[in-house]
Amino acid sequence: MKSKTVITSSSNAQVKNLNLLQKKAKAREEQGVFLVEGLKMFEEARNAGLLVKTYVSESFYHKKMQENDSYFNDLDYEVVTDGIFKEVADTQTPQGIMGVVKRLEYSLADILTKPTPMLLLLEDIRDPGNLGTILRTAEGAGVSGIILNRSCVDMYNPKVIRSTMGSIYRVPFYQAEDFIATIEDLKKQGIVIFAAHLKGRVYDTEGSFTGSCAFLIGNEANGLSDEASRMADILIKIPMEGKVESLNAAVAAAILMYEAARQRRNARNRKQ
């Protein structure tokens, strides 16, 4: 088998582009791709037919070829030195494989395909770890989809992608150009908007969330804007002990999602 040419220079155009895709949301948007690192995320993209290009470190390449010499046969791939790979990776201890992946595009209609949707509406979530965790938790809780406003951190930020642990491939999301108008549209379709708010009341545990509903979650430091809060049908808060006033955005979203999942499961069981 012909040996693969190894990229050895940081000034290589492909290496420069990988660094650009890691750092710049605009580049990811213009090229219609994002990056995934690690074997699990890579394999999921491969199985879903989303891979555009593959990059592997020399050591990973030789190890994989010893295990399975046909592993790379159907891939458009490049081998780079271990040093170059570490340079372009976003992780401290890279696994040695990276995929350039097609962006996933959803419309608002895609988010609303289920007959009784449960949605998350995110305003100004800035922390990549929070957003990735919210997406991963949303999959676990059975959320129909996520709608974000334009000031949220880029969904394709490498840290967001890593925090989703693969849920990025399975949970539909939509970034609204006009967040308030989108909420108004949801209300017209009979979706009840619940806003997590310090001035809210403790939610009803017996069935508040069994119908079509959406949870508004605001910025980590400042909560929801007044404009978004006014769009809510009901302001709610999570019951808490002690002197704690609020919770981390991802934690608050998780509690509400799983409370809704519990109520919906109980409602289905009662009907059976």
Whether 212 and 147 map to the same domain: the answer is: yes
Whether 69 and 189 map to the same domain: the answer is: no
271 band by pLDDT with thresholds 50, 70 and 90? confident
Q: In the chain, pLDDT over 70 holds for what percent of residues?
A: 99
Domain presence at residue 208: yes
Q: Supply the CATH number for residue 11's domain.
A: 3.30.1330.30
Its pTM stands at 0.92
Q: pLDDT tens digits for 157-197?
A: 999 999 999 999 999 999 999 999 999 999 999 999 999 99
Q: Quote the domain boundaries for residue 224.
A: 108-271
Q: pLDDT tens digits for 3-22?
A: 689 999 999 999 999 999 99
Domain presence at residue 1: no
Of 48, 83, 102, the residue that ends a domain is 102
Q: What pLDDT was estimated at residue 1?
A: 45
Whether residue 217 is predicted with pLDDT greater than 80 in this model: the reply is: yes
Of 102, 135, 153, the residue that ends a domain is 102
3-state secondary structure 76-136: CEEEECHHHHHHHCCCCCCCCEEEEEECCCCCHHHHCCCCCCEEEEECCCCCHHHHHHHHH
